Chain A
Amino acid sequence: SYVLTQSPSVSVDPGKTARIPCGGNNIGSEPVHWYQQKPGQAPVLVIYYDSERPSGIPERFSGSNSGNTATLTISRVESGDEADYFCHVWDSVADHPVFGGGTKLTVL
């Protein structure tokens, strides 16, 4: 079945830009969604359909998707952005959703 590959961890200084990649075979042809999960909390949708932001999500969060990589970008990173981030697509061949393994964002 379809596999989404995420780096286990990304570190960034406060105020800088964090880029969290999600790799998959020709992922650019599928809509990708992103969730943020802070310790002990439920996931929260932060990006859907590659680059759309739900209401209440800061403009600092953006997304892109092309070729074999989708990317979640967080600008002007804050300590409150520390969390695990998961990418998600619908595997149209297997007819079920797939999650990436998650990336832990650490703000230095």
Chain B
Amino acid sequence: EVKLLESGGGLVQPGGSLRLSCAASGFTFASYGMTWVRQAPGKGLEWVSSLSADGGTTYAADSVKGRFTISRDNSKNTVHLQMHSLRADDTAVYYCAKCADYDGHGFSDYWGQGTLVTVSS
């Protein structure tokens, strides 16, 4: 059974930093791209960042480029999202999702339950 468990969310002040983690199990982690998608309260899904199975190729939305960095540790079946210079409009539930392909281009066939990030003073 595929499981994705996010952690690291919480309350942070504007300008602060936070590191999200996603622990994966139930599949061959090193064979699939991974992605982070967020959802602001009452809003739709917004893609944040993705990376390929080997971590060699990364993609980031313009809204987070230069502030957020995605990475993975295939030895620990974990993907991370390092977030800096956080703003109020980064407040959202952040979902980790498994991509159905190696490159991180495809659809997401499994999703975690999400972790809430609140940026507020």
Contacts and interface: CB of A to CB of B under 8 A. Distances in A.
A44 interface: yes
A86 B106 contact: no
B115 to A, nearest CB: 11
B32 interface: no
Contacts of B112: 42
Given A42-B114, A97-B35, 18 more contacts: A37-B45, A43-B108, A45-B108, A45-B110, A48-B109, A49-B107, A86-B45, A88-B45, A88-B107, A96-B50, A96-B59, A97-B47, A97-B105, A98-B47, A99-B46, A99-B47, A100-B44, A102-B45
Q: Classify the interface of chain A: helix, strand, loop or mixed.
A: strand
B111 interface: yes
B9 to A, nearest CB: 14
A90 B105 contact: yes
A-B CB proximity, top 6 nearest: A33-B107, A42-B111, A102-B44, A99-B45, A48-B107, A97-B47
B111 A44 contact: yes
B51 to A, nearest CB: 12
Given A86-B44, A96-B59, A102-B44, A43 B111 contact: yes
B113 interface: yes
A97 B109 contact: no
Q: Classify the interface of chain B: helix, strand, loop or mixed.
A: strand
Q: Size range of the interface on A?
A: 20 to 34
Interface in B86-121: 95, 97, 100, 105-114
Given A96-B61, A102-B45, A45 B113 contact: no
Interface string A29-49: 000010101000111110011
A96 B33 CA distance: 13
Contacts of A42: 95, 111-114
A35 B45 contact: yes
Nearest to A92: B105
B111 to A, nearest CB: 4
Interface string A82-98: 00101010100001111
